[in-house]
Amino acid sequence: MQQAEDSGAAPPLEIGSQAVWSLSSSKPGFGIAQLRDDSINTYWQSDGLQPHYVNIQFLMKTETISLYLDYKQDESYTPSKVAVRAGSTFNDLTQIAVVEFTEPEGWIDINVLDKHERPVKAFHFQVVILTNHQNGRDAHIRQVKVFEPKSPDKHEHPATLLPFTSTDYAQILR
């Protein structure tokens, strides 16, 4: 995960504890507790055919989902292609990001932004492991963190924070 610059602003808040988590599958003793225990020495291990899913359900704006992956320890269990989907339920998930990795080691940040580069607000996020290194079947993810958006600069004009482009609307805000 990238270090926050020392600009006096607080780093983004990790909000995963406010979510309901579920997995497509897991080996006994390698489930949600290990995925969320703040230890890079433990991991979730899927069990079965790909794709594998990590479901995160809550209503919060989310800007970043961070995965801790370690190719040196996990080799063919390490994801090489991951998608992130968002929606209201399992039935309307829309793909918002696809990321490919080559032998990752450490925190990988996946930006969860809409087409206007704004944080996505959804009831349901899904991390999908599409492929693993060396064509591995099961996956290891050592940690998953979910972060709220960074606070906008307090001195920024409100019109720049909103998606409206009309001059009339911008005049109302002045």
CATH topology of domain 16-172: Jelly Rolls (2.60.120)
pLDDT above 60: residue 160 = no
What are the tokens at 155?
């001195």
pLDDT above 70: residue 161 = no
Span 146-159, average pLDDT: 61
pTM: 0.78
- Give the list of residues 6+ apart from residue 73 with CB closer than 8 angstroms, or none: none
Residue 165 — pLDDT band, cuts 50, 70, 90? Answer: low
Span 49-75, average pLDDT: 92
pLDDT in tens, 109-137: 999 888 888 888 888 999 999 999 999 99
- Region of 77 please: left (phi>0), alpha (psi -120 to 50) or beta: alpha
Any long-range contacts for 133-137 (C-beta under 8 Å, 24+ apart)? 133/71, 133/75, 133/76, 133/78, 133/79, 133/80, 133/103, 134/75, 134/76, 135/76, 136/75, 136/76, 136/77, 136/78, 137/49, 137/50
